[in-house]
Structure 1
């Protein structure tokens, strides 16, 4: 089992928009295996490729016992009024803030064989799909906080033992 180390806030790979996956080869298979094995740990709803240091459009998810992955995901639909929901991030450990997320989301991408994959859901799955696609665009959940809360989060990051 290969559980990859999570990159933390401050690592440039987390702020860089990801390139699409273009090769569906052994390297991509290894990446998917690592993403899935890394997200299987308890308390993890999703892991995006940049969080393990790889700048390509791929993520894994683990919600309500359903574990999967999507390559080249595109957030094609969100619906419902955004509501504040508690959110954290493996790349910003120890912080938890309310973030406005849509209650429903749908992502379309492909699997390792190039077949279309559609992942759609409500609640925690919708939140994870939005959170992980943000990662692929170089965006962290703290970027979605209001100015005062973001300042508070940044202060907490600077004072943390991991930064």
Structure 2
């Protein structure tokens, strides 16, 4: 008896099915992922005089959920595409504890969530944030140790965000 070999078309179909299983879409990663659903449909980058941010969004009825938002305050910051922004930098002279970076979440039927202080983290946009542009980038964050459920945990991801 000769071994059974799958047809090339069947194999391609099987692989395509496995790669799109459950409609997972794009997701962020890190040790926070067992605690929160980090799947999103699109990313949006915004730049204003006050802040630079990337939001990971899913539609919710006629509105949207912000699965995660990573923000960097622009105070005393010269933005350079491709240069990582240190999210742990403190704003103001000591004993200021206000950080340049912040991570938040706003999802229907969940309390608006602010995460712990950032122990280590960067946010990078590879291009200038021009309206209509697609901007690749990445972020990674490790939260400080403490008593919050997210303390000591990580979040990270690569993205291609649209600038509205």
**TM value normalised by structure 2:** 0.27
Question: Which has a greater percent of helix?
Answer: 1
Higher alpha-carbon Rg: 2
Higher strand share: 2
